[in-house]
């Protein structure tokens, strides 16, 4: 398992150009369509890092990797890179990339902790009442949010529109479902590792009951490790 963390504010111009050189023509054209320069830089840095690291892992040129997208927009490697699972997340100036070479599905979510954010209002809209009862601080909110996003990113069915369709508050680490789109994942087990950094929260979700703990260097700190199983459909929510 490989986790790469990158802050574009600390990226040297020569390193940025090196990452940009890994992109293909279609990706370079896409980068030109971003309205804001920060979004363009994040896309280039994230896609370039993905190609660079995956190419090194597989021993093939970064530009030769074929990337396609699933029906809900989740990207994946085709051809020579098909055995490598990856997922990318970004928030503010941070980029998080997770990769695994044995085709083990994974999802990652990183979130900047906004000190002025009305998390209780957002929780009331996107979280179940049972989850809301367990949220006393912004730290609790972002822990739940990144865990839910990371699990949903494994499934590839979509993110914020479905974040209230599963409940992580249950006993015995059982995830309750409220959406028929998630029924194919009933009975599957996921392992979640949550890390915090001053002003940032991150969760990595991997399929299966993993025994490993990914390592992130200081000042990132492991906040918790949970193995949870998706339960049966409770009811259709929305």
pLDDT per residue as tens digits for the range 91-150: 999 999 999 887 788 999 999 999 889 999 999 988 989 999 999 999 999 999 999 899
| Residues 22, 62 contacting (CB under 8 angstroms) | yes
Domains and their CATH numbers in the chain = 1-101 (3.90.470.20), 104-238 (3.90.470.20)
Between the alpha carbon of residue 151 and those of residues 13, 162, 181, the distances in Å are 34, 11, 14
Does a cis peptide bond (omega within 30 degrees of 0) precede residue 219? Answer: yes
Whether the CB-CB separation of 169 and 133 falls below 8 Å is answered with: yes
Strand-pair partners of 111: 201
Q: Where are the beta strands (DSSP E) in 75-209?
A: 75-78, 85-91, 94-100, 106-112, 166-167, 174-177, 189-197, 200-207
The helix-helix angle for 13-20 and 37-58 (nearest 10°) equals 70
DSSP string, 180-213: GGGGGGTT-EEEEEEEEETTEEEEEEEES-----
Higher pLDDT, 177 or 114: 114
What distance in Å separates the CA atoms of residue 182 and residue 154, rounded to the nearest whole number? 11
Q: Within 10 Å of residue 42's Cβ, how many Cβ atoms?
A: 22
Tokens of 74: 């989740």
Q: Provide the whole-model pTM.
A: 0.90
Q: How far is CA 108 from the centre of its chain?
A: 2
* pLDDT tens per residue across span 19-78: 999 999 999 999 999 999 999 999 999 999 999 999 999 999 999 999 998 877 789 999
Rounded to whole angstroms, how far apart are CA atoms 19 and 22?
Answer: 5
Q: Which one has a higher pLDDT value, 195 or 187?
A: 195
């Amino acid at each position: 398992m490989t986790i790469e963390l990158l802050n574009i504010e600390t990226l040297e111009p020569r390193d940025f150009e090196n990452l940009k050189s890994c992109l293909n023509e279609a990706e370079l054209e896409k980068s030109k369509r971003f309205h804001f320069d920060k979004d363009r830089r994040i896309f280039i840095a994230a896609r370039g890092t993905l190609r660079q690291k995956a190419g090194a892992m597989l021993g093939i040129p970064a530009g030769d990797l074929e990337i396609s997208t699933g029906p809900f927009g989740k990207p994946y490697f085709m051809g020579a890179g098909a055995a490598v699972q990856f997922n990318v997340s970004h928030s503010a100036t941070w980029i998080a990339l997770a990769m695994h070479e044995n085709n083990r599905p994974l999802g990652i979510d990183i979130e900047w902790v906004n000190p002025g954010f009305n998390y209780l209002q957002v929780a009331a809209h996107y979280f179940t009442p049972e989850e809301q009862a367990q949220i006393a601080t912004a730290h609790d909110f972002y822990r739940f949010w990144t865990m839910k996003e990371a699990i949903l990113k494994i499934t590839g069915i979509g993110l914020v529109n479905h974040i209230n369709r599963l409940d992580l508050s249950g006993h015995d680490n059982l995830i309750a479902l409220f959406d028929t789109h998630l029924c194919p994942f009933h009975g599957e087990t996921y392992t979640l590792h949550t890390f915090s950094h001053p002003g940032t929260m991150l969760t990595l979700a991997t399929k299966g009951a993993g025994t490993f703990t990914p390592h992130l260097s200081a000042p990132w700190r492991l906040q918790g490790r949970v193995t949870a199983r998706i339960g049966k459909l409770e009811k259709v929510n929305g």
